[in-house]
Structure 1
Amino acid sequence: MKVNGLQAEMQAMKLEAQNTTRPATGQQVSSDFGAVLNDAVKTVNNLQSESSELATRFDQGDRSVSLSDVMIARNKSSVAFEATVQVRNKLVDAYKQLMNMPV
């Protein structure tokens, strides 16, 4: 996971949000949020796949893969997965709060 790329993407999203002149409809926000969430899950999946592939290559004796590479990839995928779980938990809590609101 490239931190600089992620930071640049977040800054671009911030600028885009600041430059919005017309209000977004609920459907636009929903589709944008869904796309961002989908991209995040795909990124986590890719990190886990890369980690698994590196571990397999190391286990098979590939000399181009070091143990430190495998451990770094594992930790990156673990942190990304834990962050995804935390976001999911927050979304579920927010949904529960909305459902419990009196109308």
Structure 2
Amino acid sequence: MSITSIESVLQQMRVLAQASGPSSTAVSDTSAGGFAGELQKSLARISDTQQAAYRQAEAFELGQPGVALNDVMVDMQKASIGFQMGLQVRNKVVAAYQEIMNMPA
């Protein structure tokens, strides 16, 4: 994998992490396969999980029927674990990039 493709993946990760809109459209527009495509799909799933958990928490706060506190807490923990996993993957990608950059030519 070339340095430009790694930088491209890192830039895509930053853009997706900062995006506040629905990320499912970004996944459907991705025609590239491989690592970059899988990474975008994973980030989209993490974002969707977080958005669903926040919607459910808001519904509980508003007192909507059929929304139990234990379901809200479980979904919030799932979203948190997914985010932490994504963060660790990003850290590993950055560490691998730095290791490649420090290799003698």
Confirm or deny a common fold (TM above 0.5): yes
Which 5+ residue runs of structure 2 have no aligned equivalent?
1-31
C-alpha RMSD over aligned residues: 1.1
Match for residue 56 of structure 1? 58
Q: What is the aligned-residue identity percentage? A: 35
Match for residue 95 of structure 1? 97
Match of 2:71 among 51, 65, 69: 69
1:63 Cα deviation after fit: 1.6
Paired residues for 1:8-23 under 5 Å: none
Runs of 4+ residues deviating >3 angstroms: none
Match of 2:80 among 78, 95, 101: 78
Greater radius of gyration (CA): 1
TM-score (norm 1): 0.70
TM-score (norm 2): 0.68
Q: How many residues align?
A: 74
Which 5+ residue runs of structure 1 have no aligned equivalent?
1-29
Match for residue 42 of structure 1? 44
